């Protein structure tokens, strides 16, 4: 994927990356109308919802490497491995609708380890993609160089 992702930490750059993430999700949803991908490790579908886009854009836009990670959405949803299952954080409104939070990881060449957080909805039990971020900060420079 040949996408220009701006580098830096100032507020304007972060806003640009947030828009890139939202635009990426809009494009992804148009090519994935069911808004779901089957995850091999969970042996269940992971759904992408408005909350997925909102939370990921807010968190991943903070760092170049996390914004880059989002562009591998299908691959991450399909191949991430379960690392831990925990309860939602208390007093976190966006997590209140979930009965469990599943922390998953996916290693991507040129990016490093990517963290995928999935919420299990109360009631339906559907797995909802909550957030995607890269967790290896020392790979930021290497990823920028590989992207060029």
> In this predicted model, what pLDDT tens digit does every residue of 94-140 receive, in sequence order?
899 999 999 999 999 989 999 999 999 999 999 999 999 998 655 55
Write phi, then psi, for 32 (nearest 5 degrees). -130, 70
Q: What is the pLDDT of residue 92?
A: 87
Tell me if the pTM is above 0.75: yes
pLDDT digits (tens, 9 = 90+) for 58-75: 999 999 999 999 999 999
Placement of tokens 């562009």 in the chain = 71
Task: pLDDT band for 148, please (50, 70, 90 cuts).
Answer: very low
Which residue in 110, 106, 107 sits closest to 147, CA to CA?
Answer: 110
3-state DSSP: the chain helix, strand, coil percent, rounded to 5?
40, 30, 30
pLDDT at 143 over 80: no
Give the percent of the chain with pLDDT over 70. 90
Average the pLDDT over 10-30 and give the result.
96
The answer to whether the CB of 34 falls within 8 A of the CB of 119 is: no
DSSP 7-62: ---SHHHHHHHHHHHHHHHHHHHHH-TT-EEEETTTTEEEE--HHHHHHHHHHHTT
Name the residue with higher pLDDT: 114 or 144.
Answer: 114
């Amino acid at each position: 994927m040949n996408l220009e992702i701006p580098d830096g930490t100032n507020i304007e750059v972060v806003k640009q990356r947030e828009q890139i993430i939202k635009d990426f999700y809009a494009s992804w949803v148009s090519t994935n109308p069911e808004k779901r991908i089957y995850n091999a490790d969970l042996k269940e579908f992971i759904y992408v919802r408005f909350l997925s886009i909102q939370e990921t854009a807010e968190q991943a836009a903070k760092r170049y490497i996390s914004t880059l990670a989002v562009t591998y959405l299908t691959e991450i949803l399909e191949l991430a491995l379960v690392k831990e299952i925990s309860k939602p954080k208390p007093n976190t409104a966006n997590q209140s609708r979930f009965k469990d939070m599943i922390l998953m990881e996916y290693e991507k060449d040129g990016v490093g380890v990517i963290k995928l957080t999935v919420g299990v909805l109360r009631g339906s039990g559907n797995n909802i993609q909550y957030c995607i971020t890269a967790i290896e900060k020392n790979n930021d420079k290497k990823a920028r160089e590989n992207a060029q």
